A = this chain, B = another copy of it.
Amino acid sequence: MEEPGAPETARHERADSAANHERILAAARDVFARRGLDAEIKEIADRAGVGVGTLYRHFDSRDGLLRALILQTHDDLLQRLRAAADTQDAAHALRAVIHAATDVYRQFGALTEVALAGRLDHLRPDGHEELTAAFTGLLRRGVADGTFRADLDIPMMIAALESVFTSGKVVRLVAERGYAGAAAAISDLFLHACLAVPTGPGRGRAT
């Protein structure tokens, strides 16, 4: 973290401030994740170990802080989803994506919900569209190459998958099964919902 040769003290002030910035973000992540979006500013400041004034020096308002977090969550999520989607095999890619999302969730908690839910879009317009687009691309690829069934309802699939992360269920899943277990369970379920059925009659629209 320290560039060698750089003067220690000259940048210390800045470094402190930057550290506080990060600590506030982390604290906010934490507190929002645990208490929900109604959490009090004071609690965040306390947890960050700073006064409220400091928090307000770094973020102009409650919404400003929230926006910064959503942005961060989005960026992280998007970047990891894209990386995961790069995997050749669409099925593996979907698994990777779900693992990534679970991981992001672990860190951002309730904020992932918000980021995926599309609420608070006024704070971060278009953020959700980008995620949806990335997902859609992956699923389309799978359908195109025969990995996923031709009649897969892609928007529905995305909505359902997002729902799992939006609903707060992941918290419990992770608590009960651990990170890998939760990701595996989600993957298994949704792969079953997507995968093309090799041969057999009798499958299909079962009403």
Number of identical monomers bound together in the oligomeric complex: 4
Chain A 194-207, CB within 8 Å of chain B: the 1/0 string? Answer: 11011111110111
A198 partner residues in chain B, CB cutoff 8 A: 197, 199-203
A159 to B172, CA, bound (A): 9
Asked if B169 contacts A206 (CB within 8 A), the reply is no
A191 partner residues in chain B, CB cutoff 8 A: 206
A168 partner residues in chain B, CB cutoff 8 A: 117, 119, 166
A202 partner residues in chain B, CB cutoff 8 A: 198
Chain A 113-157, CB within 8 Å of chain B: the 1/0 string? Answer: 100011100000000000000000000000000000100010011
Interface positions, chain A 78-99, Cβ under 8 Å from B, are 91-92, 95
A residues within 8 Å of B by Cβ?
38, 91-92, 95, 113, 117-119, 149, 153, 156-157, 159-160, 162-164, 166-169, 172-173, 185-186, 188-195, 197-203, 205-207
